[in-house]
Structure 1
Amino acid sequence: MSTAQPVQPSRSLAAIWISLISNIALTLLKIGVGLAFGSSVLIADGIHNAGDIIATVAALTSSMVSKKPADDDHPYGHGKAEVVASAFVAVVLALAALWIGYHSILSLTEPAVSESALPLVAAIVSLVWKLLLYVYTIRIGRREKSKSVLATAYDHLADVYASLAAVLGIGLSLVGEHLNWAWSAYGDPIAGIIVSLLVLKLAIEMGKEAVDILMERTIPPERLARYEEAIFALEPIKRIDRVRAREHGHYIIVDVRVGIPSHYTIQQGHDISREIKRCVIESDEDVVEVMVHLNPWNEGE
């Protein structure tokens, strides 16, 4: 019988470890340079990165837990540990967005700070670094179907937004100083406000997806239709009463209720259940468990 491909812990964990080390390095870089040169957007971006460290640790822990096999206390496995981590990352991003927005607005009420080239270089380094990390982790997350790695990838994407805004804001301030544009001196905090809105939007989208899975929202109708088609292809199946499915982290669990001839023996019913499981799993590599309930069907129904 075909089964879903297991997540490769080495790739997923390696991606998260690389993200963790990168976040620590970038946090020290941004906060250090931001404090030294008084760049509010770089400091805000650095604080955001500090929150990323906590989020990445949560993703790392959940990724390790999710690989544990099913046990008596968790008969359906530990896959939702990654979804919990994804929800946690969404909360961290939302708090970071509010923090960045608040301090950026405060900066607008204070005298503008003269920018220098080093904060701009730090922001560019962060932008390139985070863009590469996003591409790397999104590929690993999609390939391994790991919610925790995907959450880490979207966290990197939020940092790409933040670093891009920092580059634009600091760059605008530097250009404005040479061209005597008084308004450009506030490019830094304005960029921070834009960053906060982008990060908040990303956090809401991540949080909604995590909540949908935790609340066991059904999978898309076209996927359910694929399961029904595979089941109906079996000759003994006379009626499909219900097909339900839910994500459980990086895999899917399916519930099936079908009608078979009422005169079938228990052995025949057992064999049909095995065939239903086989055909559903073969129709979708993400399915790892199919629970089958057989109902009696009589001629003329």
Structure 2
Amino acid sequence: MADRHHSGLLAIWISLISNIFLTVLKVTAGIVLASPVLLADGVHNAGDIIATVAALTSSMISNKPADDDHPYGHGKAEVVASAFVAVVLALAAIWIGYQSIAALFEPPAGENWLALGAAAVSLVWKQALYIYTIRVGKATNSKSVLATAYDHLADVYASLAAVLGIGLALLGDRLGWDWAAYGDPIAGIIVSVLVLKLAYEIGRDSINILMEHNVDPEKLAHYENLLRTVSQVKRIDRVRAREHGHYIIVDIRVGVPHDYTIQQGHDISRELKKLIMDYDPDVIEVMIHLNPWEPKEPVATSR
């Protein structure tokens, strides 16, 4: 768990440093080269710095051990940061959409090859960051790292729009296509829709976790199958599991023979806990309630 946390922190630190560098690059290039596309993309990147700082802070908090005030740990700090990133992305999508629509009613701005080069560098860099962080996020099950990865993906969309818009404007200048000058705002509108969809998906997942949404049914089915391998478990009454940031807490109720001693019940509980935690390394706690089962009762399935 410590190694996974370190990998997640490293990914967020790399993202933060990259966002700062790209923001300075885009804003400077946008001002010097008089490119509104790059300037807008740079301002959008500045918002990413805030989101990445939130992800970094939450990732450090989430690794704190449980205490009296937070007996289940601090894992949901990552979920809060993920929800914050969703809000930042939604605001960025609205801003990009507004700027793009407004640009359709203004004289098109001239573009140059240096602006295209800066946008291309941002596109390649952000794509590499997305691939790196999404792999780390999935490997560590870190919600803050995953949110950072999707933030990079939103930047990939924005940078791609800038490359296409600037490239189309340059091509239009060469071929005499007046309409091509408006390629960038049109691409920006499409990007705003994609980023808004991304923000919705991140926000929905964060709210589900904060509202104690059950984990994937397939994962629950695997837990139940593990419980059935223990001969002393005669009935599965209930299986629940909820994500708590980068880890999972499982609650189960099972029926065991009513004449078992407390020691036997304790040993069964330890065996069940070990089974589930060995199967799923994301599980850090299994809370088990044993119910009495009598031989005359039918064997019931999970409900």
Structure-2 separation of matches of 1:107 and 1:76: 50
**Does 2:100 align with 1:100?**
no
Shift in Å, 1:180: 0.7
User: Equivalent residue for 1:52?
Assistant: 48
Structure-1 separation of matches of 2:55 and 2:222: 32
Q: Retained in 2: the 8 A contact 1:151–1:206?
A: yes
Q: Retained in 2: the 8 A contact 1:40–1:104?
A: no
Structure-2 separation of matches of 1:96 and 1:7: 33
Match of 1:68 among 64, 73, 87: 64
Instruction: After superposing the two structures, state which structure 1 stretch, 202-211 or 6-15, moved more.
Output: 6-15
User: Equivalent residue for 1:111?
Assistant: 107
User: Equivalent residue for 1:179?
Assistant: 175
Report how many aligned residue pairs link the two structures.
297
What's the TM-score, normalizing by structure 2? 0.95
**Does 2:23 align with 1:24?**
no
> Per the alignment, in what secondary structure is the counterpart of residue 236 of structure 2?
strand
CA deviation map 1:125-183 (0-9, x unaligned): 10011111111111211222211111111111111111011000000001001111010
Structure-1 separation of matches of 2:38 and 2:196: 18
Q: Percent identity?
A: 69
- RCO (CA 8 Å, sep 6+): is it higher in 1 or 2? 1
Shift in Å, 1:246: 0.7
User: Equivalent residue for 1:241?
Assistant: 237
Instruction: After superposing the two structures, state which structure 1 stretch, 167-176 or 256-265, moved more.
Output: 256-265
Structure-2 separation of matches of 1:24 and 1:189: 25
What's the TM-score, normalizing by structure 1? 0.95
CA RMSD of aligned residues (A): 1.2
Q: Retained in 2: the 8 A contact 1:89–1:155?
A: yes
**Does 2:154 align with 1:162?**
no
Structure-1 separation of matches of 2:28 and 2:82: 29
User: Equivalent residue for 2:86?
Assistant: 90
Structure-1 separation of matches of 2:37 and 2:195: 14
Shift in Å, 1:61: 0.2
Structure-1 separation of matches of 2:214 and 2:6: 30
Shift in Å, 1:8: 3.0
Amino acid at match of 2:218: E
Amino acid at match of 1:121: G
Structure-1 separation of matches of 2:136 and 2:90: 24
CA deviation map 1:71-97 (0-9, x unaligned): 111111111111111111111000000
Segments of structure 2 that go 5 or more residues without pairing to the other structure are 298-303
1:1-301 alignment to 2 at 5 Å? Answer: 5-301=1-297
Structure-1 separation of matches of 2:271 and 2:227: 9
> Per the alignment, in what secondary structure is the counterpart of residue 37 of structure 2?
helix
Amino acid at match of 1:143: A
> Per the alignment, in what secondary structure is the counterpart of residue 71 of structure 2?
coil
> Per the alignment, in what secondary structure is the counterpart of residue 70 of structure 2?
coil
Amino acid at match of 1:137: T
